[in-house]
Structure formats: C-alpha cells, structure tokens
Chains A and B, each alone.
Chain A
C-alpha cells in the first residue's frame, strides 16, 4: 500500500475527521516491535492549515517501501555514483594492470559464496547451487561473470578514454585546481609529466 500525504485546509474539518477515523488496515496503534509495521496519523491543528500525514504501512507495505529504498540505493544508485566517478573527476583511463585485482577479488568472492554455503547453508546466488545445477552449468555461469567483468572493465576504460579525449584534447579543459601552491617542488621527470598533462596535448592517452 503506498503512503498518502494529505494537506487539508482547516475549513473542511468534517472531511478531516472522517479521514482520520477510517483505518486502512487492522491496526490503528503502533504494533509490537516484532510485527515490523507502522501505522501513524499525525494531526497538528493550526489556524491556517491542517496537515494530515498518514503513513499506513502494513507488514507487506512497509517492507515494500523499505525494500524499494534499499534496492534503489544498492542496485541503482551505486551505478549513478560510479558514473559520477567516471565522468566528473580527471582520472586517467584504468590501467590494464588493474584487471588483475579486479579478477582476483571476483574470484575471492566466489570462494566466499561457497564458504557461506558450507558454513551457513545457503547460496547467495541460485546459479551457484551445485545441488540444483550440474557442475558444467555452474562453471558456465562463473565464466560468464568473469567475462562480464572484463567486458565492463573494457567499457569503463574506453568511456574514460573518451572523456579524456573530449574534455582535454578537444575542449581543452585541463581542470579546476586548488588555489593553494603545492608543498613540494617538482622533480625532473615530474615537470615534464606535469606539462604534458596540464599544458601540452597528451598525444596518445590509450598507451597509458
């Protein structure tokens, strides 16, 4: 059940009263904590406006609102955050060497998934279930995810290459820097690198 928010002017007190008296679900008071549901009516009478806010959250309703928020936060917003880090900072294209920790951590997670099954008796993902699927199917899923990881690495890497090319090479926007002078002095190799990155066009970003 979705939440409802009502703003009712004070000159309709009867309507207000009716709305307050009609419960949508069985409980009208706060249930014991283990039920996991909240049903609240808030009334704050003022001269000008009466705001009635009722959050009627039955066990299934509340769980769906809460789980909607956690799902959006954990499955949608994380991509938004990652996209922010890909587009907005001046980061260089992902080094190829970083494929190694990416694959290793994926492999470590795979190990964790089976440790979880061995110690706690559940599979985090159905496709890992060796009792349900043959070893061949499970292996295929695992390889599939490895390949997906590598493909995503490639996509992200080349999106960053594109960002650097468009922003720095084409548009010449070399960055917004701190107004404070750096503490340390530049050493020989660093001065060239600094020029190359700040002032002079970087010829081939992809070779980095």
Chain B
C-alpha cells in the first residue's frame, strides 16, 4: 500500500544523511554539544540530589516510588536523550560523522523514536 510505504519512508533509505540530529540551523556543533551536555548534567544532578536528599531524611523508599511516576520516568528519558545526543553531537563535531551514523539501523531508528517520545512526553507531563 502506498500509505504503508509513506509511513516507513523516513526510515527507509540512508539514515540522516545531512546529520539533522546533531546539527543546528544557528548553533555551531560545539555550542549544540555544550548545551546538550549541560542539560544532561543538570537532569542527572537533579535526580541524584533528590535521591541523596531523600536518603539523608530517611525517606529512601520515596526514591524507589518515584519510578512509578510518569513525570520521573519522562525525566529519566530526557536525561539519557540529552546525554546520548550530546555524545553524537560531540563525535560529529570532532570527526564530521556522528556515532549515530555508524550504528546499526535498529539503533538509528531507536534514536529517532527516542527523540519523538522526549519532545512529546515532556508536554504530556506538563499538561497533566
């Protein structure tokens, strides 16, 4: 069916030939890398600060319970997305070709889907 072919069109053929996932229209790759790294570090720091604070106040089981909340799970996704995309941006900046370009197709598709879930769920969380 033509509709089915259109559905898989973004994932058929060569993947991201112009490196859309690791470049910006106005930020140089170095700046994009720096911002993504900062966001990833901030996101991870937030989590571990919360866990540490809970631990210090004898509320460690509250830390375990956070993994049942969509907000927290989404934020873990955000943290890892920015970490990986920073890594891809760094490799692209330094060599002209990101790790993503050299990875198996399944992981490339996964990265694209990861991007979609991050940008959508962040707003689902806020709207809830």
Contact = CB atoms under 8 A, between A and B. Distances in A.
A79 interface: yes
A109 to B, nearest CB: 5
Contacts of B96: 178-183
Contact of B123 (A156, A180, A182, A197): A156
A27 interface: no
Interface in B62-79: 65, 68-75, 78
Given A82-B78, A176-B27, A183-B95, A194 B117 contact: no
Interface string A186-201: 1101100110011000
Interface string B27-69: 1110010010001001100100010010011100000010011
Summarize B's interface: helix, strand, loop or mixed: helix
Interface residue range, chain A: 35 or more
Interface string A37-64: 0000000000000000000000000000
Interface residue range, chain B: 35 or more
Contact of B24 (A82, A90, A109, A189): A90
Given A81-B122, A101-B116, A113-B68, A90 B20 contact: yes
B76 to A, nearest CB: 11
A78 B24 contact: no
Contact of A97 (B8, B57, B69): B8
A194 B73 CA distance: 36
Among the interface residues A85, A86, A122, which one has the most CB atoms of the partner chain B within 10 A? Answer: A85
Contacts of A186: 17
A13 interface: no
Interface string A75-87: 1111101101110
A98 interface: yes
B75 A156 contact: no
B3 to A, nearest CB: 10
B2 to A, nearest CB: 11
Contact of A73 (B14, B46, B93, B101): B46
Interface of B: 6-11, 13-14, 17-29, 32, 35, 39, 42-43, 46, 50, 53, 56-58, 65, 68-75, 78, 81-82, 85, 92-97, 101, 112-113, 115-128
Given A86-B119, A149-B120, A176-B24, 13 more contacts: A33-B56, A75-B125, A79-B123, A98-B116, A116-B68, A152-B124, A156-B119, A156-B120, A184-B97, A184-B101, A207-B6, A208-B9, A208-B10
